[in-house]
Amino acid sequence: MQGGSSGIGYGLKYQARCISDVKADTDHTSFLTGTLSLREENEVHLIRLSSGGTELICEGLFSHPNEIWDLASCPFDQRIFSTVFSTGESYGAAIWQIPELYGQLNSPQLERIASLDAHARKINCVLWWPSGRHDKLISIDDENLFLWTLDCSKKTAQVQSKQSSGMLHYLSGGAWDPHDINAVATTCESSVQFWDLRTMKKTNAVERAHIRNANYDMKNNHILVTAEDESGIHIWDLRKPKSPVKELPGHTHWTWAVSCNPEYDGLILSAGTDSTVNLWLAPTSAEEEATSESIAEPPAQRADPLLNSYSDYEDSVYGLAWSSREPWMFASLSYDGRVVVESVRPFLSRR
Amino acid sequence: METDDVPLDDKAKRMRDLLSSFYAPDPSSTENAPSNPGTLDAINTTSFDADQYMNLLIQKSNLEALLQRHVEMAAEIKNIDTDLQMLVYENYNKFISATDAIKRMKTNIVGMEANMEQLLDKIMSVQSKSDGVNTSLFEKRERVEKLHRTRNLLRKVQFIYDLPARLEKCIEAEAYVDAVKFYTGAMPIFKAYGDSSFHDCKQASEEAIAVIVKNLQGKLFSDSESIQSRAEAAVLLKQLDFPVDSLQVKLLEKLEQSLGDLQLKTNDIENASMESNDPKQGKVSDSVHITAHEGSVRGFAEAISAYRVIFPESEEQLIKLVQDVVVKNFETTEQYVKGRISSANLLCVLRTIWTDVLLMDEVLSEAVLPVFSLEAAQIALKQHVASSFNYLLQDISDALLRVNVSSKEAAEEHPLQVALEASKKAVLQGSMDVLLDFRQLLDDDLQLLVQLRDFIIDWVQEGFQDFFRALYDRFLLLSGRNSSSRQDQGLTGAHGEKVLAGLVLVLAQLSVFIEQTVIPRITEEIAASFSGGGARGCENGPAFVPGVICRIFRSAGERLLHHYINMRTQKVSTLLRKRFTTPNWVKHKEPREVHMFVDLFLQELKESASEVKQILPQGLARKHRRSDSNGSTASSRSNQLRDDKMTRSNTQRARSQLLETHLAKLFKQKVEIFTKVEYTQESVVTTTVKLCLKSLQEFVRLQTFNRSGFQQIQLDIQFLRTPLKETVEDEAAVDFLLDEVIVAASERCLDPIPLEPPILDRLIQAKLAKWKEQNLISP
């Protein structure tokens, strides 16, 4: 399984799009990933990095009824996760619990805690509040934003509130502010919108076309990183939504996913459809004022923000996750179903 | 011998001491130091205590030493005795000789008194005789003195009476100096007696003096008089207590008035430059103008020198006046420089000013006019350099922006090409012109400029550096990268954006041109004629760093090219997004013809290709080599895949197909989809196509298709192969990407059964025929 330069590889049977860090597992560095196969039986893999850090071990392999378009691990219970799935014609979302049958690889059944079945449209993603225990969930479909109250013990999920994004705004994804339990950003075709969950009203918007993915900086409040199809990565200070604080060139083709390191300031990963994962260093707090010159200045005089480009992938990379337990590790997932866990340690020393 | 010597010496010394102590008035002074009675040396002091001494001696010495001491002491006592005897004898001797001397004196003094009395008598008689002579001569002498005094007085009175006549004479002879001298000489008398006895006289001479003053004033103001005589006149007037200050002010005013003529007028400059532009006519009138100007300056200089001689203490005012002139001249020049002028014109102006300055400097070197005007010229020149570059920048961006205008008019066939050529020319020719222009400044031997040579070189170098930086900024601004205007322009409509995209391409190519042609040329030119400088100081290095500029423009070129490709692909992306998000693919109907988005896509490509063709050079027959090198494996694979799809048609096949894809990927060399973009038509078009196809693949992957949806995609993609092959350099990669799209669609299909080949063929042929027909008409 050892493929490529430094990364530790793991192969899924089918194509896959999503991978998630199991944040609640404090003893191991583990990731959850689910396959995307229209016609085959799909699987959810629980992968754990061996204690030596040299191998990826499959800790659990569970069959999943449909192809998985989105997967998110519950940040306070390592056995719970959410998926968004599709049967080809219809979409669904559910909360699952891993049965306590660790170590057995005979595809035990996942326990469905709740179905988020209030959606009528194509569901895009389910969000957990990333910073701790919170009994609310957010699910986003093409047109609506749902806030759910989840009760794991009673195994119920109820819609607490719902808000339509408005005409002509097709939502494509979102991110929950780790600093503010009531703030959620959603991406749509022409902008990023910000919602207050108490009132379910729009509070702010960043006008920007074709945003694929958005990610809040875990360390710095007000900082949001967005990935766009053609124009790379932008870092926004939400107090100044008119223009980005910083621009990174992104990828040769689309920049699909972007993720801020939970521990190291300004360390950003991006995954692109040009089959690469790029590691960027773009500290925002120190030089906010330098944005206007950042383009005018000759590039030779500025340190290259690109620390490394991992290019050992065969297909587009859609899945990307930092490990919260070992924040110098990250897992990436390319469409051909290959998980690669890499360490960014060699690049941290340069800071 | 030695043993004899030492006591002898001692003896003589002691003798002397004894004698001196004997004659010394104060016995205490013989003691050279207050001696300590506690030591054995205290024997020769007044405070000598015999008992103590004995005790000390006994205490300190042993018997032998005591005996020794005893012998010594006995000898010493004997010595002292003989000394004493000798002293007494000598004293006695002296006394006897003194008595003898006194006796002799007494006998000598007895006859002196009588001689003295005789002397006194004789002196008395001499005195009485001299008194007699004196009294007999006194009277006569008194009279002589009185007569002399009267005569002097009479002479003075005569002078006063003659004064008016004399003054008249002086006036006639114009001997004003004498006249003033006489008058001032007579002044005290007039003051004392003017009201009484010499009244008439005074009046007459005052009248004469008034005439003199008037004459002198006239002389002072008349320019025809020599400076010397005018100066004299001023001095005389001053001696006559005439208020000179007011005269000075008046003269100064006169000078100031003449200044007005001296100032260069903007009109004059323009005239001069206009004329100098027209060499035939200009020469004559220019020289006329210049001589006229020079004449007036010369006059002014003379006036100043005269003034200075006349009023030596008025330097400060003059300096101020002169500096004013220079400042005003430079102000006009600066005003003038702000406009668009050539260095020749500037040179002409500077030369005029400099001649003026030199002329004035001759007469008033204290004003340090050369230094002063050097500074002013420095400012003016710097401004000139800066404004030259500004205009150059303006020219270039004008040339670039003409793209928009001309393509809107749609009069020209290749607006981009025209714009590129125009802007290339603007950049190269413009900068060469500017350099040439500045060279004139350097080549001129005007002293002013020679001194500023280093500065000029630095300014020119700095100017180029800044100019290119500014140009780079301008490029970014024009390309819309620098602002959020891109979004707005996207909204204003396809037309506006299209023009902008072309402009970006032009800018990219222009950047390359600047990097590869303009900078080396300029570097060469600068090295040839603008080397040196260094007034800036060594630590900064030369002001113009071609390496940095080259780097800037190289990266700018790449960025702009990428930006262009991005803009193009973005448009296609929007098209594709619409295509893939609008229909419900799961409920797609059977394909009847190739979907129209393909037409739009090809249309976009064609537009891009036409733009690219205008701007970029053709690649060097890459097409064949590339497809030879890695095209074989990929295309054979894709053919096989296609064959598979044609023959087999069931759902189980999909899995093996996926496996096959993976296997194929493992065994074949990775097709590099994203290669480096080069500045060739093919490279840019190919990159655009590749990016678009990749986007297509990504869009397909996001959808789920039913059989008909899949077949539609299959049909569209199969159709695309032919026209794309014609436009694209890297066939292998494009083929691969097209295959990938079909594979992606089949993977995302619920029921991946491809179209039957005959139907597929028929539909494609129909579409191809239509497309070719269109293609024949449109170009």
- Which residues on B lie below 8 Å from A91 (Cβ)? none
Mind listing the pLDDT tens digit for each residue in A5-46?
Answer: 578 888 888 889 999 999 888 888 899 999 988 888 888 998
For range B272-288, the mean pLDDT: 45
pLDDT higher than 90, residue B237: no
- Which residues on B lie below 8 Å from A336 (Cβ)? 662, 665
**What is the C-alpha separation between A223 and A266, in angstroms, rounded?**
10
Task: Please give the single-letter amino acid code of residue A200.
Answer: M
CB pair distance less than 8 Å for A296 and B476: yes
pLDDT higher than 70, residue B194: no
CA distance, residue B717 to nearest chain A CA (Å)? 20
In this structure, what token pair is assigned to residue A87? 């049967």
- Which residues on A lie below 8 Å from B569 (Cβ)? 230
For range A228-250, the mean pLDDT: 84
pLDDT tier, B537 (very low <50, low <70, confident <90, very high otherwise): very low
For range A340-347, the mean pLDDT: 87
Q: Is A39 on the interface with B (CB under 8 A)?
A: yes
Higher-confidence residue of B717 and B529: namely B717
Buried b (16+ CB within 10 A) or exposed e, B203-231: ebbeebbeebbebbeebbeeeebebeebb
Instruction: State which H helix or E strand residue A258 sits in.
Output: strand A255-260
Q: How many domains does chain A have?
A: 1
Strands A30-35 and A16-21: antiparallel
pLDDT higher than 80, residue A157: yes
Mind listing the pLDDT tens digit for each residue in B359-418?
Answer: 777 777 776 777 777 788 788 888 888 888 888 888 887 777 766 655 444 444 567 777
For range B341-350, the mean pLDDT: 75
Question: Going by C-beta distance under 8 Å and a sequence separation of 6 or more, which residues neighbour residue A45?
Answer: A10, A12, A32, A33, A34, A35, A58, A60, A61, A339
- CB-CB: which of B484, B691, B704 is closest to A38? B704
Which single residue is written with the structure tokens 């004995």? Answer: B54
Q: Is A335 on the interface with B (CB under 8 A)?
A: yes
Q: Which domain holds residue A21?
A: 2-347
| Per-residue pLDDT at A83 | 92
pLDDT tier, B150 (very low <50, low <70, confident <90, very high otherwise): very high
Mind listing the pLDDT tens digit for each residue in B663-673?
Answer: 565 555 555 66
CB pair distance less than 8 Å for B662 and A243: no
- Which residues on B lie below 8 Å from A244 (Cβ)? none
- Which residues on A lie below 8 Å from B573 (Cβ)? 210, 229-230
pLDDT higher than 80, residue B338: no
pLDDT higher than 70, residue B268: no
Mind listing the pLDDT tens digit for each residue in B42-100?
Answer: 677 777 778 888 888 888 888 888 889 889 889 989 998 999 999 999 989 999 999 99
**What is the C-alpha separation between A298 and B557, in angstroms, rounded?**
12
Residue of B nearest to A272 (CA): B698
Q: Is B569 on the interface with A (CB under 8 A)?
A: yes
For range A240-254, the mean pLDDT: 84
CA distance, residue B611 to nearest chain A CA (Å)? 21
| Per-residue pLDDT at B637 | 37
Q: Is A86 on the interface with B (CB under 8 A)?
A: yes
Q: Helix/strand/coil (H, E, C) string of A277-315?
A: EEEEECCCCCCHHHHHHHHHCCHHHCCCCEEEEECCCCC
- Which residues on B lie below 8 Å from A254 (Cβ)? 695, 698
Residue of B nearest to A317 (CA): B698
Q: Is B660 on the interface with A (CB under 8 A)?
A: no
- Count CB-CB contacts under 10 A for residue B662: 14
Q: Which of B748, B751, B753 to mutate to test the interface with A (most CBs of A within 10 A)?
A: B748
| Closest by Cα among A79, A72, A27, A16 to A50 | A27
Q: Is B649 on the interface with A (CB under 8 A)?
A: no
CB pair distance less than 8 Å for A253 and B570: no
Phi-psi region of B127 (alpha: psi -120 to 50; beta: other; left: phi over 0): alpha
Q: Is A146 on the interface with B (CB under 8 A)?
A: no
| Per-residue pLDDT at A331 | 92
**What is the C-alpha separation between A275 and B734, in angstroms, rounded?**
17
Question: Going by C-beta distance under 8 Å and a sequence separation of 6 or more, which residues neighbour residue A264?
Answer: A327, A328, A348, A351
pLDDT higher than 80, residue A347: yes
**What is the C-alpha separation between B700 and A73, in angstroms, rounded?**
28
In this structure, what token pair is assigned to residue B607? 């537009």
Mind listing the pLDDT tens digit for each residue in B706-741?
Answer: 888 888 888 888 888 888 887 777 777 888 888 888
SS3 content of chain A, % helix, strand, coil (to 5): 5, 50, 45
Residue of A nearest to B584 (CA): A89
* Range name among B238-247, B465-474, B523-532, B633-642 with the lowest pLDDT average: B633-642
CB pair distance less than 8 Å for A88 and B704: yes
CA distance, residue A296 to nearest chain B CA (Å)? 6
CATH of the domain at A9: 2.130.10.10
Instruction: State which H helix or E strand residue A33 sits in.
Output: strand A30-35
Higher-confidence residue of B126 and B299: namely B126
The CA distances from residue B462 to A287, B374, B376, in Å, are: 29, 20, 20
Pair B587, B704: CB distance under 8 Å:
no
pLDDT tier, B520 (very low <50, low <70, confident <90, very high otherwise): confident
In this structure, what token pair is assigned to residue A209? 């076309």
Edge-to-edge order in the sheet of strand A67-73 = A67-73, A80-86, A91-97, A111-115
**What is the C-alpha separation between B543 and B531, in angstroms, rounded?**
11
**Three-state DSSP state, A202:** strand
DSSP B529-574: HS----TT-GGG--S--HHHHHHHHHHHHHHHHHHHHHHHHHHHHH
| Per-residue pLDDT at A332 | 92
**What is the C-alpha separation between B509 and B556, in angstroms, rounded?**
10
* Range name among A170-184, B211-225, B472-486, B684-698 with the lowest pLDDT average: B472-486
CB pair distance less than 8 Å for B750 and A39: yes
- Count CB-CB contacts under 10 A for residue B728: 25
CB pair distance less than 8 Å for A253 and B581: no
Mean pLDDT, chain B, rounded, equals 73
| Per-residue pLDDT at A295 | 40
* Range name among A219-233, B609-623, B718-732 with the lowest pLDDT average: B609-623
Angle at CA of residue B467, ends B461 and B469, nearest 5°: 110
In this structure, what token pair is assigned to residue B727? 């436009």
For range B547-562, the mean pLDDT: 83
pLDDT tier, A107 (very low <50, low <70, confident <90, very high otherwise): low
For range B427-444, the mean pLDDT: 79
What is the sign, positive or negative, of the torsion defined by CA atoms of A344, A345, A347, A351? positive
In this structure, what token pair is assigned to residue B565? 């490709």
CB pair distance less than 8 Å for A38 and B665: no
pLDDT higher than 50, residue A263: yes
Q: How many CB pairs under 8 A join A and B?
A: 72
Q: Which of A91, A230, A275 to mutate to test the interface with B (most CBs of B within 10 A)?
A: A230
Q: Is A170 on the interface with B (CB under 8 A)?
A: yes
Tell me: ipTM over 0.95: no
Which single residue is written with the structure tokens 């000789």? Answer: B97
pLDDT higher than 60, residue B623: no
- Which residues on A lie below 8 Å from B698 (Cβ)? 253-254, 273, 316
